[in-house]
Amino acid sequence: MNRNADPQTRVRGWRRFKDAGVVVLMNLWCYPALILWTLLGLVLFPVVFGLGLVFLRMPADRLMRLLVWIYGRGWVVLMSPFVRFRREGMGLIEVGKPCVFVVNHLSFFDTYCMALLPGYDITFAVRSWPFKMFWYSIFMRLARYLDVEGSSWQETLSNCQSTFAAGGTVLFFPEGHRSRDGELQRFYTGAFKVAVAAQVPLVPLCIEGTDHLLPPGRKWFRPCTIRLRALEPIRIRDYSDTDGHILLRKQVKEHIAAALASMRTQNSQ
């Protein structure tokens, strides 16, 4: 560092040096910790899953969703030395009541952050690619996650209705892929058609900060604050006509966009 530089320049240089050191330390901790946590889960899974079936007497798919939620909570704990997690509006969610969640998509780790939700019985409705990876596929199929890209509309609706009948929830990323610029992308209609057809409430969720943690195209973590906010549930009875899901999609996107703008304004203050 140049000792002849003015004090402000030296302060900025020190801060950059300090920030770089924190980033290095974070990655030296987080990657090995996540790998070990995953390996531990894989080793213990057959025993834990078997004992859960015997003693908890839960259906296999529901038990698998519980274990996925626990794995996500462990990830939150491991990241917490470098990441601040904030939950907002969780009291609006009625745990144990069927609903459709929709959430914006910024990072690969958005799915891990769904462990911040108060309930564990969440069925993810996702595209086909994770089902093609053997290290994901077996667990996703045990949890009866939905391949919305590889299934017909009727199959998707039927599977969602089975989930609702058992008191579970279904979560969609309506953009279908991660945003590259942090802005909301086009919303697909599947989640909204399901909510209208099944007549279950729809709960918009907003996630902010995961694009700073690990955006698409970057390989290293950065410290950040991640906020997950639940918005007011939307009752579906007002959207029951033929094109109701289209209006619902438009209004939900507007609600999420407004909430994200508010969250980012708060963060900049």
What is the percent of the chain with per-residue pLDDT over 70, rounded to a whole number?
93
Q: How far apart are the first and last CA of the chain?
A: 30
Q: Is residue 212 part of a domain?
A: yes
The pLDDT of residue 201: 95
26 within a domain of the structure (yes/no): no
- Is residue 29 included in any domain, yes or no? no
Our count of domains for the chain comes to 1
pLDDT of residue 205: 98
Report how far residue 256's alpha carbon sits from residue 95's, in angstroms, rounded to the nearest whole number.
21
With a CB cutoff of 8 Å and minimum separation 6, the contacts of 76 are 85, 112, 113, 115, 116
Q: How far apart are CA 13 and CA 181, in angstroms?
A: 28
Does residue 207 carry a pLDDT above 90? yes
Task: Give the pLDDT band of residue 237 (cuts 50, 70, 90).
Answer: confident
Residue 220's contacts (CB-CB under 8 Å, 6 or more residues apart) are: 23, 27, 214
Per-residue pLDDT of 106-132, as tens digits, reads: 999 999 999 999 999 999 999 888 888
Whether 36 is covered by a domain: the verdict is no
Bridge-based pairing state of the strands 202-208 and 99-103: parallel
- Model pTM? 0.90
Query: Taking all residues of the chain, what is their mean pLDDT, rounded to a whole number?
Result: 90
Residue 75 located in a structural domain:
yes
Close Cβ partners of 52 (under 8 Å, ≥ 6 residues apart):
58, 63, 66, 67
pLDDT at 3 over 60: no
In a domain, 139, yes or no: yes
Nearest to 140 by CA among 155, 154, 124, 153: 124
Helix H or strand E encompassing 9: helix 7-51
Q: Is the pLDDT of residue 11 over 50?
A: no
Residue 83, H or E segment: strand 83-88
Answer whether residue 7 is part of any domain: no
pLDDT of residue 8: 59
Q: What is the pLDDT of residues 120-170, one digit of tens each?
A: 999 999 988 888 887 788 999 999 999 998 889 999 999 999 999 999 999
pLDDT digits (tens, 9 = 90+) for 49-71: 999 999 999 999 999 999 999 99
pLDDT surpasses 80 at 213: yes
- CATH number of the domain where residue 144 is located: 3.40.1130.10
Q: Which pLDDT band holds residue 200 (cuts at 50, 70, 90)?
A: very high
Q: What is the pLDDT of residue 217?
A: 85
Is position 38 within any domain? no
The boundaries of the domain holding residue 222 are 43-268
